[in-house]
Amino acid sequence: MSVMTVGGYIARIDYDPETDMFRGEILGLHGGADFYGKNPKELRQEFKQSLAVYLAVCHEKGIEPRRNYSGKFNLRIPPELHERLAIAAQAEGKSINALAAEALASRLAV
């Protein structure tokens, strides 16, 4: 997966063989916003334009552009992994949640 960032917003970039263009989808929004370009320069320009239009519409309608996240989600893992996680957390004197949050932050380089 390729990504592109503009103004703190991140878009996933894919190639669309039907149009022979690159397609970007801005992630983490309340609604959808996508854009197309034939090359990286054009794609970035279209990203900026699509984002500007999206933000203007949100402002006009009084909508928060970014989706809000609660900080909670369910994670389904194999029982054996759950056991290993629980034991590792106990060994470090941490909760499973704290150890999992550290692992996710490390993976995402936060």
The answer to whether residue 104 sits within a structural domain is yes
Residues of the chain above pLDDT 70, percent = 99
- pLDDT-derived band of residue 109, with 50, 70 and 90 as boundaries? confident
- Band (pLDDT 50/70/90 cuts) for residue 24 is very high
Q: Is residue 110 part of a domain?
A: yes
Same domain, 6 and 42: yes
Does position 98 have pLDDT exceeding 60, yes or no? yes
Whether 42 is in a domain gets the answer yes
Q: How many domains does the chain have?
A: 2
Tell me, what's the pLDDT at 31?
A: 86
pTM: 0.78
Residues 6 and 53 in one domain: yes
Residues 47 and 91 in one domain: no
- Residue whose entry in the numeric block shows the structure tokens 């090359």: 39
**Shortest CA distance to 11 belongs to which of 23, 110, 21, 73?**
23
As a whole number of angstroms, the distance between CA 12 and CA 29 comes to 13
Report whether pLDDT(110) > 70. no
Domain hosting residue 99, numbered range: 72-110
Q: Give SS3 for 103.
A: helix
pLDDT, tens only, 47-84: 999 999 999 999 999 999 999 999 999 999 999 999 99
Regarding whether 17 and 47 lie in a shared domain, the answer is yes
